[in-house]
Amino acid sequence: MRHNKSGRRLGRNSSHRAAMMRNMVTSLLDHEKITTTTTRAKELRKLAEKMITLGKRGDLHARRQALQVIRDRKVVAKLFEMVALRYKDRPGGYTRILKLGNRVGDNAPICQIELVEEEFTPRPKKVVSVAAAEVAPVVEAVDEVPAETEVEAEDKD
């Protein structure tokens, strides 16, 4: 049983899997878009998001941690100087996976993983204001009912 064992094995041993992920994250950050199978892309997304977060930190320790995964110094420089600046105000979600269909040879699901291009704009939270507006008339109606009963009680005395 695989209790509490996260991550996909992808049909490889651990060293092969780690090397493949290092190569894929290097290619993704270099070309900003790659085509691969869906399961590989989902695993790659985890590592790519961690690398971009390291790039956003920007200190020497983060650069050395990124160099442990991305062995190409030019790609690490691009990560820290260009890619991290693009996502400085974005709180995650730096990649997008687009499904392309199935591969011709073995019918494996193929997708394209890419870095998100558009600017991040936080959405205003309208749900709270709508809920407060709906609750307010109900509270007023409840306040009016006891006031009318008090007036009726005084008239009877």
Determine the length of the chain: 157
* DSSP secondary structure letters along 5-24: --S--TTS-HHHHHHHHHHH
Name the phi and psi angles at 122, rounded to 5: -65, 140
Local confidence pLDDT in tens for the 157 residues of the chain: 989 999 999 999 999 999 999 999 999 999 999 999 999 999 999 999 999 999 999 999 999 999 999 999 999 999 999 999 999 999 999 999 999 999 999 999 999 999 998 777 777 877 655 555 555 555 555 555 555 555 555 555 5
Distance CA 115, CA 93 (A): 9
> Considering the entire predicted model, what is its pTM?
0.74
Q: Domain 14-115's class? A: alpha beta
Distance CA 97, CA 47 (A): 14
